A and B are shown apart, each in its own frame.
Chain A
């Protein structure tokens, strides 16, 4: 295996006719991390996933999944993956349990182990009581959860999930988030997650990449993408106007931006610079009602990067 990397993209591109769906992707995903793959509809996320599992041949460049090429060593790679595609693809004529037994047989588990794993997986997604029901009667969210349970059956080293939370209610979104976080903590398992839920991605991903029109726009820690690593605080002031605040003596590298009303945003070079700013405000007889450490949300940064172009 390639040391610390679960997935390595090397100049990966894929064209369909004249349309370029994925263009020159060049990055890697560390072992044991939760990686968020974000981007507007049609950005190329699903196409990338398909190439990762060896369902689609790259037009250019290559991928290494768990150190191997999914095209030439497909069976080796796929036997170590748990995959959930955007269309979950469950067998409607079979029961929930039968769907999972099939996955367990594919993974070549023994009879006793199949039993245990199926039970555990169904319990994990709260579908144990529905195990004998035919999937054709399942709601969209139940299907998503069953698809997730199926991806977990073989205890894969790498989970590749294409929008696993699509169609889930808020309580189930939280359930899936917690499930994924606990899965990631188990023995170095990596998770590659395509999602449109930016707040969820920010909460659970170690790193995220934002893709648009097949190109990588940015990649990094979701909590620092927007602020580019600079700490910021949000200040709520009383008394004092823009003029007064604007003339304050601030520590080196610190800046204050008016957000409208009594709200201000301070960016500082280091966390320790916040205290002198508050002291300066108080000295200038400007009341400080609240000082709240702020993270530029992933959503703000996403919208800034992707722009109104796609109405993302």
Chain B
């Protein structure tokens, strides 16, 4: 665990020097915080945005978007950046075990995505409060369903995208290709989820299961990734 913390320490230090990341993070959080509130208010007047439960869930989706955008950018970037600068080579010469190197990247991307989701939520609540007045703007958190979407699905989804993004970037050398594959793989998992959302209607058990399935798939893929990506093979990928 100490090795994982070491790599995570390094990643957080690097974030402060990474302008692109800071921009993506700020824009995603702001956009996903403000946009849904404005569109709802525009369509149905200020009160609708704070009172209807459907509106609350609609805003919940934007919280998920914030997480996916941020993780989808961060996870591949953490790996590709190390490949371009040959620092991945350096990491492989150190005593750090493979799981610490990749595990730390997955955990950091996950944490950053979850943080983005929570910040987007905070901004949404703030914006709703400003537009619709105090009182009902906590609605999304008042619904159990809303809480599962906001806290559960965003966690499961962030972890899933973090795992896919990290391991895809290890195999795909090019930045755009890595983003594309990550986003596509998110799409693949989202399709049954959205189909279920429409057909089964939003019941609490269904949404809870979806959150857990995201998490379980993420953990499974993470373990498979660790088995596939041994350090003595990475050098070959590095030189492609």
- The answer to whether A55 touches B93 (Cβ under 8 A) is yes
B96 within 8 A of A: yes
Residues of B within 8 A of A36 (CB): none
A105 to B95, CA, bound (A): 11
Q: Mark B92-107, 1 if CB is under 8 A from A, else 0.
A: 1111110000000000
How far does the Cβ of A152 sit from chain B's closest Cβ, in whole Å? 14
Q: Could you say which of A92-100, A184-192, A264-272 contacts chain B?
A: A92-100
**Bound complex: CA A83 to CA B97 (Å):** 16
Choose one: A54, A93, A106; the contact of B232 (CB below 8 Å).
A54
Residues of A near B93 (CB, < 8 A) are: 53, 55, 78, 81, 83, 85
Query: Which residues of A lie under 8 Å from residue B235 when comparing CB positions?
Result: 50, 55-56
Is A94 a contact of B95 with CB atoms below 8 Å? no
Neighbouring A residues of B175 by C-beta, 8 Å? none
Tell me the smallest distance from the CB of B23 to a CB of chain A, in Å. Answer: 15
Q: Nearest-CB distance from A158 to chain B (Å)?
A: 12
* A57 contacts B17, C-beta separation under 8 Å: no
Measured between beta carbons, the chain B residues less than 8 angstroms from A102 are 6, 9-10, 13
Of A88, A93, A108, which one neighbours B18 at CB under 8 angstroms?
A93
Residues of A within 8 A of B (CB-CB), count: 30
Chain B: which residue is nearest A80 at the CB level? B95
Is A103's beta carbon under 8 Å from chain B?
yes
Given A75-B97, A106-B95, A107-B95; A85-B89 close (CB under 8 Å): yes
Interchain CB contact (< 8 A) of A89 among B14, B89, B97, B232: B89
What is the total number of residues of chain B having a CB less than 8 Å from a CB of chain A? 27
Whether the Cβ atoms of A108 and B10 lie closer than 8 Å is no
Annotate A47-82 by CB proximity to B: 1 below 8 A, 0 otherwise.
000100111110000000000000100110011010
* Nearest Cβ on chain B to A148's Cβ, whole angstroms: 13
B121: shortest Cβ distance to chain A, in Å? 29
User: Across the interface, do A93 and B86 meet the contact criterion of CB distance under 8 Å?
Assistant: no
> Main SS of the interface on chain A?
loop
Given A57-B232, A94-B14, CB of A79 within 8 Å of CB of B87: no
Asked if A90 is an interface residue, CB under 8 A from chain B, the answer is: yes
Kindly supply a per-residue 1/0 record for chain B positions 124-163, scoring 1 wherever the CB is within 8 Å of any chain A CB and 0 otherwise.
0000000000000000000000000000000000000000
Q: Is A87 an interface residue (CB 8 A)?
A: yes
Which chain B residues lie closer than 8 Å to A90 at the CB level? 85, 87, 90
Q: How far is the CB of B226 from chain A (nearest CB, A)?
A: 15
CB-based contact A93/B14 at 8 Å: yes
* Residues of chain B having any CB pair with chain A under 8 Å: 2-3, 6, 9-10, 13-14, 16-18, 85-90, 92-97, 231-232, 234-236
- Where the two chains meet, the residues of A that have a C-beta atom closer than 8 Å to any C-beta of B are 50, 53-57, 71, 74-75, 78-79, 81, 83, 85, 87-94, 98, 102-103, 105-108, 134
Known interface pairs A94-B10, A102-B13; 18 further A-B residue pairs with C-beta atoms within 8 A, sorted by A's residue number: A54-B232, A55-B89, A78-B93, A78-B94, A89-B85, A89-B89, A90-B85, A90-B87, A90-B90, A93-B16, A93-B17, A93-B18, A94-B14, A102-B10, A106-B94, A106-B95, A106-B96, A108-B2
